[in-house]
Copies of this chain bind each other. A is one copy, B any other.
Amino acid sequence: MDTMALRNLSCGLFIAGARDGGRLTGCTVNSVMQVTSDPVMISVCVNHKNFTNQCIRDSGGFSVSILSEDAAGEVIGVFGFHSGRDTDKFASIPCDKTAMGFPVLRLGVCGWLECSLESFTELPTHTMFIGRLTDAKTSPGSPMTYAYYHRVIKGKTPVNAPTYEKPLEGLWTCPLCGYQYDGSAGPFEGLPESWTCPICGQPKNAFRTS
User: B-contacting residues of A (Cβ < 8 Å)?
Assistant: 1-12, 31-43, 45, 66, 110-113, 119, 121, 123-126, 128, 130, 133-138, 143-147, 161-164
Asked whether, in the complex, the Cβ of A36 is within 8 Å of the Cβ of B6, the reply is: no
How long is the Cα–Cα vector from A143 to B35 in the complex, in angstroms?
Answer: 20
CB contacts (< 8 Å) of A45 on chain B: these are 33, 35-36
Asked whether, in the complex, the Cβ of B138 is within 8 Å of the Cβ of A35, the reply is: no
Cβ-neighbour of A136 out of B1, B126, B145 (below 8 A): B1
Asked whether, in the complex, the Cβ of B5 is within 8 Å of the Cβ of A125, the reply is: no
CB contacts (< 8 Å) of A138 on chain B: these are 2, 4-5, 7-8
Asked whether, in the complex, the Cβ of A111 is within 8 Å of the Cβ of B35, the reply is: no
Cβ-neighbour of A66 out of B5, B36, B41 (below 8 A): B5
Copies of this chain: 2
Asked whether, in the complex, the Cβ of A112 is within 8 Å of the Cβ of B66, the reply is: no
Cβ-neighbour of A3 out of B3, B33, B40, B124 (below 8 A): B40
How long is the Cα–Cα vector from A130 to B162 in the complex, in angstroms?
Answer: 14
Nearest-CB distance from A123 to chain B (Å)?
A: 5
Nearest-CB distance from A142 to chain B (Å)?
A: 8
Asked whether, in the complex, the Cβ of B43 is within 8 Å of the Cβ of A128, the reply is: yes
Asked whether, in the complex, the Cβ of A9 is within 8 Å of the Cβ of B38, the reply is: no
Nearest-CB distance from A80 to chain B (Å)?
A: 15
Instruction: Say whether, besides A11-B11, A126-B36, A162-B37, A111 and B5 are in contact (CB < 8 Å).
Output: yes
14 intermolecular pairs with C-beta atoms under 8 Å apart: A1-B133, A2-B136, A3-B133, A5-B112, A9-B143, A10-B10, A35-B45, A36-B45, A36-B124, A37-B125, A37-B161, A39-B124, A41-B124, A145-B145
CB contacts (< 8 Å) of A112 on chain B: these are 5
Nearest-CB distance from A18 to chain B (Å)?
A: 18
CB contacts (< 8 Å) of A3 on chain B: these are 40, 133, 136
Nearest-CB distance from A27 to chain B (Å)?
A: 15
Asked whether, in the complex, the Cβ of B124 is within 8 Å of the Cβ of A38, the reply is: yes
